[in-house]
Copies of this chain bind each other. A is one copy, B any other.
Amino acid sequence: MRISQLSAASGVPIPTIKYYLREGLLPQGEQTAATRAEYGETHLRRLRLIRALLEVGRLPVASIGKIVAAVEDEETPVHQMLGTAHYALATPVEIDPDDTEQRAARERVDHLITGLGWNVAPEAPTRDELAQVLVRLDQLGMPATEESLRFYADLLMRLVAEHEMGKIPLNGPRETAVESLVVGTVLYGKVFDVIRRLAQESESARVLGA
């Protein structure tokens, strides 16, 4: 299809599509004439992925670029590709090792992960992300106890193991595996967050008798 048709099918304006092409988020179409290129289903699918990550995940374009690069580099093994895509979803956070409070929080995170027996790389950005939230909770006088963190961890591991990982098609095309991981993480993360807020409203109405 032509770029105008791709725009109509995806709902993404032509200048935006051209921007994604320039930034390398979208692969070039097949050149059929000097000023004409042909686009296919891959482009449409990729555009939908980009829009979902931007609008639902609110991911910066740079993070989307890293995910797309991991998909397109066929030399990267599947596990590593999934790791790259996964790490791109983390909010960049810097823990200052000279700050006693931050270092202590990071140690609590490491201790928690070791205690759970989870297999998480020492350089995983998620460790610092969790440490940052623990510092904030401490400062607000609402510290997270080890017990409550373990409760959440057990619940979420059951969810991930039983309901999420099994759905990632590891034997199909690379793009499908990453897409499934990213969509699962970001979009189902959002589903989770919104349903939790719906439950809070309902439970609040019940408790406060409104």
Contact = CB atoms under 8 A, between A and B. Distances in A.
A193 B130 CA distance: 9
Q: Give the copy number.
A: 2
Nearest to A196: B156
Contact of A133 (B49, B137, B190): B190
Interface size class of A (residues with CB under 8 A): 35 or more
A194 interface: yes
A104 interface: no
A48 B200 CA distance: 23
Contacts of A95: none
A137 B184 CA distance: 9
A7 to B, nearest CB: 15
Interface stretch (A20-28, A30-38, A62-70, A81-89): A81-89
Contact of A196 (B48, B113, B119, B189): B189
Contact of A52 (B49, B55, B140, B157): B140
Contacts of A51: 136
Interface of A: 45, 48-49, 51-52, 55-56, 58, 78-79, 82-83, 86, 89-91, 113, 118-121, 124, 126-127, 129-130, 132-133, 136-137, 139-140, 142, 144, 148-149, 151-153, 155-157, 159-161, 163-165, 170, 179-181, 183-185, 187-208, 210
Nearest 5 interchain pairs by C-beta: A118-B202, A119-B205, A160-B199, A79-B208, A79-B210
